[in-house]
Amino acid sequence: MSKLSDKGASRRDFLVRSATTAAGSYFSISLGAGLLTGAGAAEAAATSAYTPSIWFSVTPDGKVTMHIVKAEMGQHIGTGLAQVIAEELEVKWEDVRLDSPLESVENFAIYGLAYTVNSGSMTTEFDRIARAGAAGRIALTEAGAKLLGAQVKNCSAANSRITDSVSGRSVSYGEILQKVKIIRQFAYPDDFRAIPLKPRGSYKIVGKSIPALDIPGKTNGSAKYGIDVFLPNMAYGALVIPRTRYSSKALSVDDTEARKIPGFIKAVIIDDSFGKCTGWVVALADRFPTAVKAAKALKVTWDAGPYAKLDSATLRTEYKELATKESEGANWVLEGDVDNGMKIAEKILDVEYTTEMVCHATMEPLNATAQFVNGDCHIYVGTQSQSFARMTLTGYLAKVLNKKPEETKVYIHQHLVGGGFGGKQDFDEILAAAYCAHAAGRPVKLIHTRESNFATSFARTPTYHRMKAGIKDGQMTALNHDIVCGWMGARFSVGKKFGSDWLQQDSWDSKKQDIDQWSIGGSDHWYDMPNHRVRAWNHEATTWAVQASALRTVANSYNIFVVESMLDEVAHAAGRDPLEFRMSMLNGKGGNRGIPNTGYPPGTPSDYYMDRLWISLPWTKEGSWIPYESATVGGALRLANCLRVAAGKAGYGSKVLPPNTGMGIAVTSAEERQSPTWVACVAEVHVDPETGRFKIKRLTIAMDCGTIINPVNVDAQIRASALWGASQIMSEQLTLKDGAFEQKNFHEYLPIRLADIPEIDVHLIASEHHPVGVGEPASTTVAPAVANAIFNITGVRVRHMPIRPQAVLEGLRNKKA
């Protein structure tokens, strides 16, 4: 992704000034009088680069550059967004290029919040970039008609040309821009809403399996990731692993042995006054291997901080104790009368579920390169969070440099991201690199080793769940779900600790603690239940000691495991088939029918949903609208349809299976109910009764993601997502001992291995609804589907993630006893 041309940037600078007017930003297009007075006048009037909106530019050679602010981390989002613009712009696909335009401070003001999370890029951007493309097509059609001496109503756009249907003559986009200065105004967002879009049935680019534009560079080595950056006179930094994950403090550093290493420059204790990089000491050297060697040679005296004795076993004990304090729990869902529903039940299920920590474990370890030029800070990095990184670094450097924030300019030079999964939305390494560059007086490239990357991971919180269900006459009378975990929202740099609040208040009881939707989402599912309650407790020590953070699918990655496993338990206890039981509750009634402002259960305060809507997608507050009714229409009925398709394709209930083999099912939507992706999974699993070991033989996944932009890419993302889910149920776990993570590399932290890869059968359910994200949701269905399959095979219910073979074996032995 190359930077914008200077010509393109100057044109966009004009749009920046236009954006400050009351009417909003504009497409600016003008047909001058010089148009018909000769080639010289036309040439003088022409623009060298036509940038009708912040999303793309067209040059006189007919090439179209799409400006992509979303982080490219393997999901090929740039190609998908470019397909949407190209479809409405009616441009030839071979003329499309991509770039990342956020290298100037001014461009951050233009593009707003640059932040790539929640599989939300297509959901949030589709409508407005489609209309931007359509507006560009309208303007070019008008200009082309003028050149052809034709009426606009007789002209149409296709393949980068405007054609007059009466005369048959045509002119290319490039020719238009060589001869015309276009000034035509479309106020954003008001005029955008009136721009008609093409009927979905007429799409020629959207819906096609077009190879991703970034693949050639990634295969021939020309693509540049953050870790590939090189600057003249650059020093390298390697981290000394802190005594604890968080809240250590480096009291002193003895560099006697490090100074004996040729190429060692100095040791830097990172200023941690922002509550980040606590206990960080960085060894600087002329080469990275030398920096790693020096880091090991440094002798650091630490104050280990308040979490020095904290371990995973202690967390589990404290979680369980906290859940007994029912009056302190904050309500997330409160529908019907749960207590009465339990009283009238004939049978009560009261069980506990737990999940371990996991981390992002990306192939590209965290890294950042920092350089100061004329007092301004330039950061070269692949990050999911350009905006938050820049905002936080601006404040951090202002404090370090003793300058006002407005006196500190920070430039983020975005590169490809070598795996993110939510782990590269934090930015400790960026702060540390900038601090080191200032201390060293030269550019510094800070690279985590695999060991230091694990040691400073932003882990998914461990969790404890108490699930209680009432059953009568084959029906569930009530469901209570208590959740104890660390809350990631409280820790975010824009969070409560730093003066702003992303947490939501308990809307049913204002005296109770705030709620972190990021940590308990998914428990507010799409099933129709007469009495349903979800309560949550924050374990403060976990929040800070392990730096609880968002990991791919966020809270759904554990809450869906618990909800879907529990529903299977209830179905069996009620004497009903788990498939039929689910279908009966996915009826689309009440708040589960999926229309705006009723996305949460009946009885939910009306402003509660809208508060969460804004909190979930803060970048939509200004100048954007998203037709959520298009995304959520159909509600639970679309989810039921996915389950019906997945079960049918897998042969659930009808396929003859080998001995010790069975199937389990699960469903989910995406992280936020107002932006759902409907998905169902059937897992076919084999269990060895002698060892308890299980193998996932096949995953059948059905997904309804609305309009499918690029089918082959959607299919690839679903498969990768499913493997992510399989890895977490099989083996991944991160544990804490003496305040530090125990797993240090991939020989101890175990992602799925090649031998464990199951067959994956993906079925995309076509619809013309608003497109939603596909990179995450499928993964959350795998764990419960596998756990449910194990029960169907063995009769052993496993309630811990990951599932350990020993737990299955012990269950089998207990059954025999």
**Cβ atoms of residues 135 and 192 within 8 Å:** yes
- The pLDDT value recorded for residue 214 is 94
294: pLDDT strictly greater than 90 = yes
Mean pLDDT to the nearest integer, 781-789: 98
90: pLDDT strictly greater than 70 = yes
Instruction: Give residue 410's region: left, alpha or beta (phi > 0; psi -120 to 50).
Output: beta
- The pLDDT value recorded for residue 384 is 96
- The pLDDT value recorded for residue 192 is 81
Q: What is the DSSP letter of 221?
A: S
Give the distance between the most distant pair of CA atoms in the chain.
98
Separation CA 474–CA 72 (nearest Å): 49
Angle between helices 386-401 and 428-440 (to 10 degrees): 40
pLDDT > 90 fraction of the chain, expressed in percent and rounded: 74
Question: What's the pLDDT band for 123 if we cut at 50, 70, 90?
Answer: confident
* End-to-end CA gap in the chain: 63
Structure tokens at 181: 């200065």
In this structure, the chain runs to a length of 817
Question: What's the pLDDT band for 344 if we cut at 50, 70, 90?
Answer: very high
Q: Which residue has the higher pLDDT, 782 or 36?
A: 782
Closest CA to 225 of 87, 72, 53, 31: 72
Q: What's CA 13's distance to the chain center, in Å?
A: 30
**Mean pLDDT of the chain, nearest integer:** 87
Question: What's the pLDDT band for 740 if we cut at 50, 70, 90?
Answer: very high
Write a three-state SS string for 121-133.
HHHHHHHHHHHHH
Which amino acid does the sequence have at 373?
Answer: V
- The pLDDT value recorded for residue 503 is 56
pLDDT > 70 fraction of the chain, expressed in percent and rounded: 87
Structure tokens at 809: 């074996």
- The pLDDT value recorded for residue 209 is 98
322: pLDDT strictly greater than 80 = yes
Separation CA 661–CA 730 (nearest Å): 17
Phi, psi of 616 (to 5 degrees): -65, -35
Contacts for 292 with CB less than 8 Å, ≥ 6 apart: 238, 283, 449
Closest CA to 688 of 604, 793, 800: 793
Structure tokens at 523: 């428990």
- The pLDDT value recorded for residue 21 is 28
37: pLDDT strictly greater than 50 = no
524-575, pLDDT tens digit by residue?
999 999 999 999 999 999 999 999 999 999 999 999 999 999 999 999 999 9
698: pLDDT strictly greater than 50 = yes
Separation CA 162–CA 172 (nearest Å): 6
Separation CA 342–CA 606 (nearest Å): 27
**Cβ atoms of residues 160 and 95 within 8 Å:** yes
- The pLDDT value recorded for residue 631 is 63
**Cβ atoms of residues 773 and 705 within 8 Å:** yes
Separation CA 415–CA 225 (nearest Å): 5
| DSSP-H helix ranges across 456-529 | 517-520
Q: Which residue has the higher pLDDT, 49 or 744?
A: 744
Task: Look at residue 276 and give its three-state secondary structure.
Answer: coil
pTM across the whole model: 0.90
**Cβ atoms of residues 425 and 494 within 8 Å:** no
**Cβ atoms of residues 214 and 98 within 8 Å:** yes
Q: Which residue has the higher pLDDT, 664 or 27?
A: 664
- The pLDDT value recorded for residue 498 is 37
- The pLDDT value recorded for residue 806 is 97
395: pLDDT strictly greater than 60 = yes
Q: Please work out, in degrees rounded to the nearest 5, the angle formed at the alpha carbon of residue 39 by the alpha carbons of 38 and 44.
A: 105
Separation CA 64–CA 58 (nearest Å): 5
Mean pLDDT to the nearest integer, 379-385: 97
500: pLDDT strictly greater than 60 = no
Contacts for 38 with CB less than 8 Å, ≥ 6 apart: none
Structure tokens at 54: 């912040």
Separation CA 50–CA 46 (nearest Å): 9
